[in-house]
Amino acid sequence: DGGITQSPKYLFRKEGQNVTLSCEQNLNHDAMYWYRQDPGQGLRLIYYSQIVNDFQKGDIAEGYSVSREKKESFPLTVTSAQKNPTAFYLCASSRGAGAANVQFFGPGTRLTVL
Amino acid sequence: KQEVTQIPAALSVPEGENLVLNCSFTDSAIYNLQWFRQDPGKGLTSLLLIQSSQREQTSGRLNASLDKSSGRSTLYIAASQPGDSATYLCAEGIQGAQKLVFGQGTRLTINP
C-alpha cells in the first residue's frame, strides 16, 4: 500500500532533550511538509522540502530542524530550544510543491514534554 | 495577513439532519480550497478540493461550494450519520505559495 507513515505514535520527552520524529513516504512524492497542531487550532507549517537536499522554513521553524537526505524520508528534530513543544505533529507529502498539488497526510505523532 | 476562519468551532445535531459548515478566507489570490476530515488523534483525510475556477464539488453526501467574491466556502452534509462525527478543516491554497492556510476546524457531533 502506498502512503505516509509516522513514528512513533506517542512520544514523551524530558525538558532539555532533543527528540526526532520520523516521516516516511512511498508515494514517490518530491515535496514533504511538517505541520504542528495545537488544540482548537489549525495546522501551522514548520518546515517544507520541495526536493531532496533542500528545505525551507515555514511559519514556526524556531526550535526545530529537519533534513532531507532521501526522497522517502523527512525527519523532524524538536530541539531543547523549542519552548512549548507539546503538540500533535503531522507530516504530509505531495507530488510537487505549491497549491496545485494535493497534500496527503500521515497519522501523526503526539509529543508530550514531561 | 492570510487567515482562514471556521465558524462554529463545534456543532452538535441529531442524526438525519442536513447541515452546513462554513469557511471564510481573506486572501483573494486563492488557487484552490480543500476540505479535510480529522478523527480524534488521527491524521487528515481529504474530502473535496475545489479549484478557484469551480463553484462546487460533490462526493456522495458531501457538497462543497466556493464563492471567491465573498471569500467563503461551505461544506454541505446531507442526511448526517453518527459516523460523520469528526473535526472538519478547510484549507486555502494560495497562488505562488508553497503552503496551505488552515482554519481552526469545526468539531461535529452527530447524535443517534
Q: Do A43 and B89 touch (CB under 8 A)?
A: yes
Write the pLDDT tens digit of every residue in A1-56: 569 999 999 999 888 899 999 999 999 999 999 999 998 788 999 999 999 999 99
Cell of A45: 507549517
Is the minimum CB–CB distance between A26 and chain B shorter than 8 Å?
no
d(CA B78, CA A46): 36
pLDDT, position B27: 83
Q: What are phi and psi of B108, to 5 degrees?
A: -105, 130
Cβ-Cβ contacts under 8 Å between A and B: the total is: 65
pLDDT, position A21: 97
Is the minimum CB–CB distance between A73 and chain B shorter than 8 Å?
no
Q: Do A50 and B98 touch (CB under 8 A)?
A: yes
> Considering chain A, what is the average pLDDT of its residues?
93
Q: Do A99 and B32 touch (CB under 8 A)?
A: yes
Count of residues for chain A? Answer: 114
CB of A52 closer than 8 Å to CB of A71: yes
d(CA B64, CA A98): 22
pLDDT, position B28: 82
Q: What is the DSSP letter of A74?
A: -
